[in-house]
Structure 1
Amino acid sequence: MDGDVMIAGFFPLYTLGTDRRNSDASHHESNTLFDFKYYQLVLALAFAVEEINKKSSLLYNMTLGFDIYSVDFRTWSAFENPFIWLSGQNKIPNYTCMGESKFVSVLAGTSGKTSAQIGTLLELYGFPQLTFGAFDSALSDHGKFPSLYQMSPKDTSLAIAMVSLLLHYKWNWIGLLISQDENGLSILAELREAMAKNRICVAFEHMISDSTKTQLINIMAIQNQINKSSANVLIIYGNKEYLLGLMVYLGQFLITSKVWLLNSQCDLCIGRNYFILGSFHVPLIFSYHHEDIAGFTDFIREVNPSKYPEDFYLAKLWFLSFNCSHSDSDCVMWENCPHDASLEWLPGQIFDMAMSEESYNIYNAVYAVAQALHEMFLHQTEEPTMGNGRWWVPSPAQLHPFLKNIQFYNPAGDQVILNEERKLEAEYDILNIWNFPEGLEFKVKIGEFSPYAPYGHQLSVSKDMIEWATGTTETPHSVCSESCGSGFRKSPQVGKAVCCFDCTPCVENEVSNGTDMEQCMKCPCDEYANTERNQCLPKAASFLAHEEPLGMALDCVALCFSTLTAVILGVFVMYQDTPIVKANNLCLSYILLISLMFCFLCSLLFIGRPNTVTCMLQQITFGLVFTVAVSAVLAKTVTVVLAFKATSPGRKMRWLLVSGAPNFIIPICTLIQVTLCGLWLGTSPPFVDTDAHSEHGHIIILCNKGSLTAFYCVLGYLGSLALASFTVAFLARNLPDTFNEAKFLTFSMLVFCSVWVTFLPVYHSAKGQVMVAVEVFSILASSAGLLCCIFLPKCYIILIRPDRNSLHGFKDKIHTGRKKPS
């Protein structure tokens, strides 16, 4: 398309190879493989030029034009067409046979290498080169490429965008396939940093060289590692130069279904056989976000060879796509083409109607040149026409000052900045390719990422829009180790990445209520862990309550025995004038029975919820009443011994018995115990305490002894009295007592001591309610032993054998007792 000012476009309109099926290799055009997907670049240039030419206010009725040249990906042939464009068909260096040039800028570079090769040549002539491929940091060297401008935004947020998607689907075990160039090394460092911050691990990592030989050597190793790895997500970054062969190979021979996270340049690597890939693998493409260009789709829809008859490439596309040849010859007959044929009919993998990133960059590049020309004309002091009436054409070098500082909004409303330091961060659309039979594809936007959104809301994904691999409806997993649920914590595996771990159950009284917890949390003292170890529950208060079966049983036993003691006391009062009652020291018997009654009743202080009063009364009451009881037994034992000694011939101890000396044993012994208890209460009295560790799920409410020394002094003193009583009774067991009082006292103290000797080890090994129950049981058992061993035989005689409770029976028993020794 001719114009007053021209733009040269170098586009990769052919593939890397040729069609060897055509035996006539001399016909270069016939054996060339066309890549019609790139033809959209030509249409984007044509659309932008036509749109600008319709706006007379932008270039003051000056028109833009363009020429299109094909450029090869191969570095050794990338110079060919640019050199012809500069020098003419004669290809004489530093000379041109083309006359006066109207070209002011060049559009080139789908890849960094191509841009660098062409840029080196164009720098000799000062031509501004606007690249429409992906941003390449190697081209940012303004000392080496001062005339090169990159239209594409920087990939400063691509790593964060990809990691955000990984976090969204909880993928943390990832494979990396990165091109071995400056861009690849840069994105690799950014990916590593972002992944490390978010605890995402690299399962394997490969750098892909652009060398075909190196790729062939490594490609089998890469395939084996991908198939063996448990990583189901791969991040693939690079451009067509690096990844074309690898992508085709992986798509056809990779066995395991994988999710591919691709940058937009990799989209071009998914060639015409994509139906093999898409049916088995899931590509998610991060494409630069841009607004739709109004009218572009309609423009493409109306394009046909009749509209652009000079475009032989379009004619070839029409010929191959719509079967326009005559039945008897290969001559193209437009009459044989469908009259309503349109590029819209072509499948997406051959020609895409949606504007690609490169096409959008070309559109902006054309507007950038127009804006620069507009600014240049505004700064001209002379009339911009020459004397012969033709437009004055600026030299390419004059355009640089205006291109460097250009900043404008394109018709779609997007801001365009060529200065790399002031470029905005890119926003990304996430695309998924839906596949249909015969390789038909349809790109669907399933999400977007904006670095300008608030943190946590930068990524948005429509989960229902993603087409996962064939036969799969669930989101794939890509983890080294399955997540540890609640009740477990992560335990790192030695020598492996942090994403590889074992799940270890939380120990007792520790919980984890989340997923993949590093540590279990210890429950507070007043709470305990449930069985699943995922929640702390309040501990129930535990004490020996009157309402519980054990408490009720002990209450009943205590009341029954205290009632029995009262009955026995009543019997003794009723039969106080009988010989057997008189013979057993009536006063001491009353004291012992009353003290035993209080012994049974004091056990009730140990049952029920402890409080300050009951805690102080428990041990003090127990110590005092048992001291009275044991000292009464001691007094009765001493009385028996004195009675026998006083009646023996030649003994002079009758005055001790007559004076009532044994009766002083009780107040003296009790006074000593009262002193010990007073010291206990005065120094460190018992108090209410809690034990949250001894019994799972319960807080034991108990009475703390306060001073263990005082407690054991009271208990030890009581034990010493019992031992003294047992010793005296044992020594007097064979005395010829009328009613075997010494033997009964001996046996009663044997039972008493046995109970309390057994009590000590059991008490110290028990916890909670059992500990209290043991002490109550010991109190009841020892008291019952005294009651039964001393008083039941007497009650038996009083109530059942009254014949033996008379003076005659008493004398008969004395006579019988005196005869037995002989």
Structure 2
Amino acid sequence: MQHSNWMSLGARDELNVTLEVFLCLYLEKFPLQLYLQQFSNPRFLLKIVMRFDFYPFGDYERFVFKYYQLVLALAFVVEEINKNSNLLYNMTLGFDIYNADFRASSAFENPFIWLSGPRKIPNYNCIGESKFVAVLAGTSGKTSVQIGTLLELYRFPQLTFGAFDPVLSDHGKFPSLYQMAPKDTSLAIAMVFLLLHFSWNWVGLLISQDENGLSILSELREAMDKNRICVAFEHVISGSTVTQVLNIMAIQNQINKSSANVLIIYGSKEYLLDLMAYFGQFLITSKVWLLNSQCDLSIGRKYFMLGSFHVPLIFSYHHTDISGFTNFIREVNPSKYPEDFYLAKLWFLSFNCSHFESDCVMWENCSHDASLEWLPGQIFDLAMSEESYNIYNAVYAVAQALHEMLLLETEEPRMSNGRWRVPSPAQLHPFLRNIQFYNPAGDQVVLDEERKLEAEYDILNIWNFPEGLEFKVKIGKFCPYAPHGHQLSISNDMIEWDIGTTETPHSVCSESCGPGFRKSPQVGKAVCCFDCTSCVENEISNGTDMEQCMKCPDDEYANTERNQCLPKAASFLAHKESMGMALDCVALCFSTLTAVILGVFVMYQDTPIVKANNLCLSYILLISLMFCFLCSLLFIGRPNIVTCILQQTIFSLVFTVAVSTVLAKTVTVVLAFRATSPGRRMRWLLVSGAPNFIIPICTLIQVTLCGVWLGTSPPFVDTDAHSEHGHIIILCNKGSLTAFYCVLGYLGSLALASFTMAFLARNLPDTFNEAKFLTFSMLMFCCVWLTFLPVYHSAKGKVMVAVEVFSILASSAGLLCCIFVPKCYIILIRPDRNSLQSFKDKIHTGRKKPS
């Protein structure tokens, strides 16, 4: 193993203890042993070993300068700790750097060399006291697994600074291993929150076939199911399958054909870069890729220039910026650290500092103000990466543990030949296990996994420049500890979507169902695939993707678009509308006509035609008919409790009086004919006025029925919200239908009795055909009300009320016109027939006809 001085850090005091940090790198395509940092006259060394895994891409295929930031981060934190007089008093940190590749033999060889020395006896170090106390084991769990068995023999503390790996949490297998990265327990939830933010519910999954991949797959499925996000396709790809081009082509073909425009890709760094290297050979457009923080896309940036993966969204561990780190990188140059030949190589390739014919670096050919910040982002990034931040915390954790251990042993100093003795690595474990401190940036550092906090994530978007340059932009953040509804924050206007568009991509199986529609599942497909079905009558949906339509309240109705419930208008037969006004006019006209006829009968009460028809009964009938016409006005207008009660009671009573009066007149006619024979009992009944008792008796029975009705279940104001669309019909509920039909049936029986009596007496000799007029009037009355029943029950709303009003007016008008109009015609138009002589002639003629 070749050593090279990187920088020299002088001792702070006479008592000088140097702790050397040992770094194992894979910075070039072929393994090269690179760095060993030494300090002047080191008495004791603390070595920390690191391994960096990567896959080379791009024009700098042999050299991956991007990982050089990890070296600078290590140098920065070591220098910062050495300058801190309150930490590791009289002790100086240093580091060694090794190069390694992916081969297990190489990864195992380097720790073996620094443990036993090159070409030395295994497990035997003749150099003397070991100066290594901890190891930083790289960005991949594979590295820790490969070297962990060997390091565990010596109980070396092993600190990993890559992504959190659940495999390494098995303390039975790895009791001396500590992970610096926070736990990834909220990554699946963070990705689902992002999907919900952009309303993406149709997603493809490409997951690595390892324990980490299967774990995140289970978490993703659970979180997606809870939030009704569906998997369009799912591929769990092993590392060996990645290299099978035919399988990759089949997956690529499915990606292009799928309507899912969002893919979640999860895997280790080498897995993701290898996978996308193959995908980069094909054109996959208009897709959004959600990637975990382990993937550094800039290494494979070459294929991004083709416009294939142009919308990557990366979930990166959130960390606070380290003060002074960026300035430290800006000031790094070969003249400041001439021992670092890798930095010189970087400068030569980046800034062309020497002539090709010369093997020596000619610094005079370099620009004096050249800096690493001149390099594009995909070559070298000034911003501290996740791994660099974890290195920063790892070195501080080791320093803090050493500091606490040395403070504890201050009273009993360890001496060897009069010198301080470096503690053994195994002694650090109790301190590392329980360590908890805040780094200079103010972030808490905890190595115990049970006390680790869940990770917060920065969401990064890579902006694509035409030149293929890279610019990472933080477009959002996910914090699992924030209040509900505020865990995710996104700046939509900062995201660079598809080339030439600013619209957010859609990734749904079925387009959203707008207001007025509901989702109808497609048989045999995922819940995200559905048809849109219009809401039925009087139901609405006022949002998108509604599962069910909502029924409008009884006092509201659905508009034609089925997206809003509108208040129903009150509907009743009003006086102001045309139908109400027409019925009002008819009722008033007929009541006026009735009053006029009553006046005519009063004026001509001494004439034979008036006297012959029982003047008293005629007056009663005319007055009752006048009230029949007027009672129809109770059915017009907005119903209230008073009008509802009066409608049925007044109607039934006045019509009972009218019909019973007609019955009395019919009986009078019959008795008058039968009474012409002397000695007949009929004559006594006629003279005694017995027919006049029919009216009060019939009316009393109807009053009794109405009293029972009102006493048990009277009519009341009711509403009907269903019969007429968009209207609430205000009507009078009959209360007890039994009582209503009893009242109506009784009235009908009176009418039927009157009609029967009049029909039997129709051929009796009568001067003015009174029996025939009564028969015809009752025939019209019965026809009107028999027609009323089916029409009334088939009508709705105000039409129902209008039918009842019309029946009242028609039946009343039939009685009026058939009984009294012919008599008024004789009284007013043919007065010659309204005389006693004419009356006698009529009687004489009538009596001769039977012979």
Q: TM-score, normalised by structure 1?
A: 0.91
SS of the equivalent of 2:353 reads coil
Q: Name the residue aligned to 1:470.
A: 499
Q: Name the residue aligned to 1:243.
A: 272
CA shift in 2, pair 1:68/1:657, >3 Å = same
The residue correspondences of 1:689-708 to structure 2 (distance < 5 A) are: 689-708=718-737
The residue correspondences of 1:118-197 to structure 2 (distance < 5 A) are: 118-197=147-226
Task: Please say which of residues 721-730 and 801-810 is displaced more in the overlay.
Answer: 801-810
Q: 1-side partners of 2:369 and 2:493: how far apart?
A: 36
The residue correspondences of 1:65-464 to structure 2 (distance < 5 A) are: 65-75=94-104, 77-90=106-119, 93-94=122-123, 101-212=130-241, 215-268=244-297, 271-273=300-302, 275-276=304-305, 280-326=309-355, 332-380=361-409, 381=411, 387=417, 392-464=421-493
Q: Name the residue aligned to 1:758.
A: 787
Indicate if the aligned counterparts of 1:210 and 1:241 stay in contact, CA closer than 8 A: no
The residue correspondences of 1:712-751 to structure 2 (distance < 5 A) are: 712-751=741-780
SS of the equivalent of 1:211 reads helix
Q: 2-side partners of 1:817 and 1:680: how far apart?
A: 48
Indicate if the aligned counterparts of 1:291 and 1:412 stay in contact, CA closer than 8 A: yes
SS of the equivalent of 2:239 reads coil
Q: 2-side partners of 1:278 and 1:84: how far apart?
A: 46
CA offset digits 1:620-654 (Å, max 9, x no partner): 22122112211222222233333344447998744
The residue correspondences of 1:518-537 to structure 2 (distance < 5 A) are: 518-537=547-566
Q: 2-side partners of 1:494 and 1:198: how far apart?
A: 20
Indicate if the aligned counterparts of 1:56 and 1:62 stay in contact, CA closer than 8 A: no
Which of 22, 27, 48 is the aligned partner of 1:13?
27
Indicate if the aligned counterparts of 2:280 and 2:308 stay in contact, CA closer than 8 A: no
Query: Identity over aligned residues, as a percent?
Result: 86
CA shift in 2, pair 1:280/1:210, >3 Å = closer
SS of the equivalent of 1:104 reads coil
- In the alignment, residue 13 of structure 1 is paired with which amino acid? L
Q: 2-side partners of 1:209 and 1:436: how far apart?
A: 33
CA shift in 2, pair 1:677/1:398, >3 Å = closer
- In the alignment, residue 26 of structure 2 is paired with which amino acid? P
Q: 2-side partners of 1:681 and 1:213: how far apart?
A: 89
SS of the equivalent of 1:33 reads coil
SS of the equivalent of 2:264 reads strand
Q: 2-side partners of 1:441 and 1:200: how far apart?
A: 32
CA shift in 2, pair 1:60/1:330, >3 Å = closer
CA shift in 2, pair 1:401/1:620, >3 Å = closer
- In the alignment, residue 268 of structure 2 is paired with which amino acid? N
Q: 2-side partners of 1:337 and 1:540: how far apart?
A: 88
Q: TM-score, normalised by structure 2?
A: 0.88
Q: Name the residue aligned to 2:820.
A: 791
Deviation at 1:89, TM superposition (A): 4.3
- In the alignment, residue 759 of structure 1 is paired with which amino acid? F
Indicate if the aligned counterparts of 1:75 and 1:113 stay in contact, CA closer than 8 A: no
Q: 2-side partners of 1:270 and 1:769: how far apart?
A: 80
Deviation at 1:808, TM superposition (A): 5.0
Q: Name the residue aligned to 1:485.
A: 514
| 1:642 and 2:671 are equivalent in the alignment | yes
Deviation at 1:500, TM superposition (A): 2.9
Indicate if the aligned counterparts of 1:620 and 1:677 stay in contact, CA closer than 8 A: yes
SS of the equivalent of 2:91 reads coil
CA shift in 2, pair 1:280/1:375, >3 Å = closer
- In the alignment, residue 806 of structure 1 is paired with which amino acid? S
Which of 630, 642, 646 is the aligned partner of 1:617?
646
Which of 521, 527, 539 is the aligned partner of 1:498?
527
CA shift in 2, pair 1:670/1:373, >3 Å = closer
SS of the equivalent of 1:123 reads helix
Q: 2-side partners of 1:364 and 1:622: how far apart?
A: 97
Indicate if the aligned counterparts of 1:7 and 1:67 stay in contact, CA closer than 8 A: yes
| 1:782 and 2:796 are equivalent in the alignment | no
Q: 2-side partners of 1:91 and 1:168: how far apart?
A: 60
CA shift in 2, pair 1:715/1:115, >3 Å = same
Indicate if the aligned counterparts of 1:7 and 1:104 stay in contact, CA closer than 8 A: no
Q: Name the residue aligned to 1:571.
A: 600
Indicate if the aligned counterparts of 1:174 and 1:231 stay in contact, CA closer than 8 A: yes
- In the alignment, residue 20 of structure 2 is paired with which amino acid? M
Deviation at 1:561, TM superposition (A): 0.5
Q: 1-side partners of 2:80 and 2:454: how far apart?
A: 28
CA shift in 2, pair 1:706/1:142, >3 Å = closer
Indicate if the aligned counterparts of 1:430 and 1:445 stay in contact, CA closer than 8 A: yes
Q: Name the residue aligned to 1:24.
A: none
SS of the equivalent of 1:729 reads helix
Indicate if the aligned counterparts of 2:285 and 2:307 stay in contact, CA closer than 8 A: no
RMSD over equivalenced CA pairs, Å: 3.0
Indicate if the aligned counterparts of 2:241 and 2:247 stay in contact, CA closer than 8 A: no
Indicate if the aligned counterparts of 1:523 and 1:529 stay in contact, CA closer than 8 A: yes
SS of the equivalent of 2:133 reads strand
Q: 1-side partners of 2:494 and 2:583: how far apart?
A: 72
Give the number of aligned pairs. Answer: 810
Indicate if the aligned counterparts of 2:136 and 2:160 stay in contact, CA closer than 8 A: yes
Which of 536, 539, 554 is the aligned partner of 1:510?
539
